[in-house]
Amino acid sequence: MVEKAKMAMLLDFYGDVLTDKQREAMDMYYNLDYSLSEIAENTGISRQGVRDRLQKSEHIILELEEKLRLYERFCSMKADIERMIKQLEQIRKLAPAEISSIIEIAQGLLDK
């Protein structure tokens, strides 16, 4: 069982491989925190239909991550970049302009 916050991030990462309907249901459930019944009401399918759609979507996403490990790699990169920024900040006084510009690049990486 993947926790909700992690699935929301995986969805952000891999969501574009889903169909529009799958992505819509996943978005409602993981980002907007709708209940199954609320999603059913909003999409006009049964509660069980919503459950199936979510499960299928989760399966697609988890299988991709299991094979590609791209999200895991991005998380590990993110941790390193944050560590780098911390160390840069500690020595920023040595060359404020130069180091600020490097920090800016590193921070830009976190938004890619």
Question: Which positions lie near its own copies, rule CB under 8 A?
Answer: 13-14, 16-17, 64, 67-68, 70, 73, 76-77, 80-81, 83-84, 87-88, 90-91, 94-95, 98-99, 101-102, 105-106, 108-109, 112
CB of 7 to its own copies, least distance (A): 17
Among residues 1 and 20, whose Cβ is nearest to its own copies? 20
Q: Which of 48, 2, 49 minimizes the C-alpha distance to 21? A: 49
Residues whose CB is less than 8 angstroms from the CB of residue 109 and which lie 6 or more positions away in sequence, other chains included: 77, 81
| Alpha-carbon gap, residue 25 to 94, rounded angstroms | 51
CB of 6 to its own copies, least distance (A): 18
CB of 103 to its own copies, least distance (A): 9
Here the contacts of 32-41 (C-beta below 8 Å, separation 24 or greater) are none
Among residues 35 and 83, whose Cβ is nearest to its own copies? 83
Judge contact between 61 and 10, C-beta under 8 A.
yes
CB of 55 to its own copies, least distance (A): 20
